[in-house]
Structure 1
Amino acid sequence: MSPIHLTGPLLVDRAADRRDTVDLDAIDAIVVRDGSVLALDGQLVFVAPADQPAASLRVYLGREAGRDIAALVPVDPAFGTNDDGIDGERMVGLRDLIGSLALRGAEGARDRELAATAVAITTWHANHPRCAVCGDLTEPRKGGWVRWCERDKKEHYPRTDPAVIVAITDQEDRLLLAHASYWSPRRFSHLAGYVEPGESFEQAAHREVFEEAQLVLRDLAYVGSQPWPFPASIMVGFTASVDDAAFVLDQDEISEAMFVSREEIVALVADGTVILAPHGSIARRLLEGWYGGPLADAPHGEGFNG
């Protein structure tokens, strides 16, 4: 499998030195709520201060092209879903938006970065409002990048859960596609799983693949990584091969799998037997790296929302 480019340098300066000083009420903002962001025609919407809704949380995202940008969580839970005075702009799930932005190529890279950051950091605030030591409510500090416990005088920082994903080929250069038991029918991707305490990424890849399919990997190679805030992951991508392609599925996490050739995957997608991971995901990039280029979805096919 040829190397593929997944991510590069940050396109937005996170400007950590400005987090304590920027007036978050006076800068443009991305509106984000429950994993969705305000968008129009598949692009992020940047709302000027005078037009911003009342906010329950603001987080400083950084500077881009000389402009400070925040993430804003609206107080109104219905904002962006009804006729609230915004012309055509609606809250869009991050998965769907990532797919739309990926199809825009380099033009969508900045928006993907901002949207992923906004969803990840605001989700962390929503899920961790209390001190893990004493249970008291904490408050945002440092532009929203820290939560402060007044009782313990302790700072709490955002968490990111590392996970590995492995594109596996056999001796005929066929790719393994697997179906997780908790996915909707026909959705297939690579084997993946979370890194456990005390493991390296490589050890996690070997363990997860053996647990789920009893396959022994060789030539494990790092490819790239991608933030995946569903709710708080970073996906670390690898390629690997197996000498013995006879898998035994655990039937708990993985209920179906198959090795496919390039010709077979085209046919399986075209007739709707297989639904692929979305454009813009590391899973899709690993698959297309093996395939050798873009792989079209079936016309009017369903999305992959796992």
Structure 2
Amino acid sequence: MSPPGFTGGTLDRADRLRNDPAALAAALSDRRARLLVLGPGYEPQVTPEGRLAWTSLADADPDAELVLLGLEDDRPRFAQVTNEPGGSPFRSPRLLGSLGEMRPGEAATYAQARAVLDWHARHRFCANCGSPSVVVRAGWVRRCGSCAAEHFPRTDPVVIMIAEHGGRALLGRQASWPAGRFSALAGFVEPGESVEEAVAREIHEEAGVRVRGVRYVASQPWPFPSQLMIACVAVADDDALTLDHNEIAEAIWVNRDEVRAVLAGGQGPFLPPPPYAIAHTLLSEWAGEG
């Protein structure tokens, strides 16, 4: 199986430096330290070689807070905190183009940076008392200046799954997607719920299909804004559909030959998800089993 998009990171995240003020100060003063170049909406700047663009820390806003992303060959790498939440990648053709140009390891670094920066933008105030919070521990914690509560970057687990029946896979389409674009069903894991239970619940809620035999395939960080996609396959008891049109506009059953053709760039009954999305990985893995 090919690695899902946004995985394969090469940075040493250097957790040991986050609680060491002297070591962090040394990293900030290191002449080799670099700052990740990001445009509006956290759009990355990508070189023709598929690498992220970096600049000197001297180009950072002197009043801005910094996040230590990690070390690359012992050279510190930072990103600058802003107050700007990121938007959906599917509303930015430029960002979608950049995602397709990045090397796998570069995309992982970008995902790390975008997720933590977006978290800072959305969590500038303490969830405990509502007072402003500040960046501590090299950007991986926010501490309230009033009640001293500490808040850590969050990642929301999301199940994304295929229900299979009779050699066919169930795919759905949201109303906001381009015409013909279908993908695996997905939904957030709710509190007090296992991954297997979330898969079964979401498929039944969205498509009216009961499933069993849930098996894990792969996972992927999805930094829009900060999710962990957990890809699974489940066996459906039947293929009768009852759609929740608040969740999905259409659903179809497709066989492996159709999926293989579409993923290879040929004609078929649907447009596939982009290669960097784990739905693409999930479909590829399922289609290769037959």
Would the TM-score normalized by the shorter structure come out above 0.5? Answer: yes
Report deviation, 1:57: 3.4
Tell me how far apart the structure 2 counterparts of residues 96 and 167 of structure 1 sit (CA, whole Å): 27
8 A Cα contact 1:37 1:92, kept in partner: no
Tell me how far apart the structure 2 counterparts of residues 202 and 243 of structure 1 sit (CA, whole Å): 16
CA spacing shift, 1:232–1:257, aligned 2, 3 Å: same
Report deviation, 1:137: 1.1
Tell me how far apart the structure 1 counterparts of residues 200 and 2 of structure 2 sit (CA, whole Å): 21
2:141 corresponds to which residue?
Answer: 146
The runs of 5 or more residues in structure 1 that have no matched partner are 77-90, 102-107, 294-306
Q: Say which of 33, 40, 44 aligns to 2:47.
A: 40
Q: Deviations over 1:157-200 (max 9, x none)?
A: 111111000022211x1222210123232221001000111111
8 A Cα contact 1:174 1:260, kept in partner: yes
The 5 Å alignment of 1:201-280 reads: 201-265=195-259, 266=261, 270-271=266-267, 274-280=270-276
Q: Does 1:57 align with 2:62?
A: no
Q: Say which of 87, 104, 108 aligns to 1:109.
A: 104
Report deviation, 1:226: 0.7
CA spacing shift, 1:195–1:113, aligned 2, 3 Å: same
Q: Percent identity between the aligned chains? A: 37
1:192 corresponds to which residue?
Answer: 186
CA spacing shift, 1:66–1:54, aligned 2, 3 Å: same
2:37 corresponds to which residue?
Answer: 31
The runs of 5 or more residues in structure 2 that have no matched partner are 85-92
The 5 Å alignment of 1:88-167 reads: 93=95, 95-101=96-102, 108-167=103-162
Tell me how far apart the structure 1 counterparts of residues 76 and 275 of structure 2 sit (CA, whole Å): 29
Give, as a single letter, the amino acid of the residue that structure 2 aligns with 1:288.
Answer: S
Tell me how far apart the structure 2 counterparts of residues 22 and 215 of structure 1 sit (CA, whole Å): 52
1:14 corresponds to which residue?
Answer: 13
Structure 1 window deviating more from structure 2 (120-129 vs 34-43): it is 34-43
Tell me how far apart the structure 2 counterparts of residues 188 and 213 of structure 1 sit (CA, whole Å): 14
CA spacing shift, 1:267–1:119, aligned 2, 3 Å: closer
Q: TM-score, normalised by structure 2?
A: 0.83
Q: Does 1:290 align with 2:257?
A: no
Q: CA RMSD in A?
A: 2.7
SS at match of 1:246: coil
CA spacing shift, 1:150–1:257, aligned 2, 3 Å: same
8 A Cα contact 1:165 1:235, kept in partner: yes
Give, as a single letter, the amino acid of the residue that structure 2 aligns with 1:97.
Answer: S
Q: TM-score, normalised by structure 1?
A: 0.79
Tell me how far apart the structure 2 counterparts of residues 213 and 63 of structure 1 sit (CA, whole Å): 45
Q: Deviations over 1:267-306 (max 9, x none)?
A: 696458632211122111001112239xxxxxxxxxxxxx
Give, as a single letter, the amino acid of the residue that structure 2 aligns with 1:109.
Answer: P
CA spacing shift, 1:120–1:198, aligned 2, 3 Å: same
Report deviation, 1:260: 1.1
The 5 Å alignment of 1:62-77 reads: 62-73=70-81
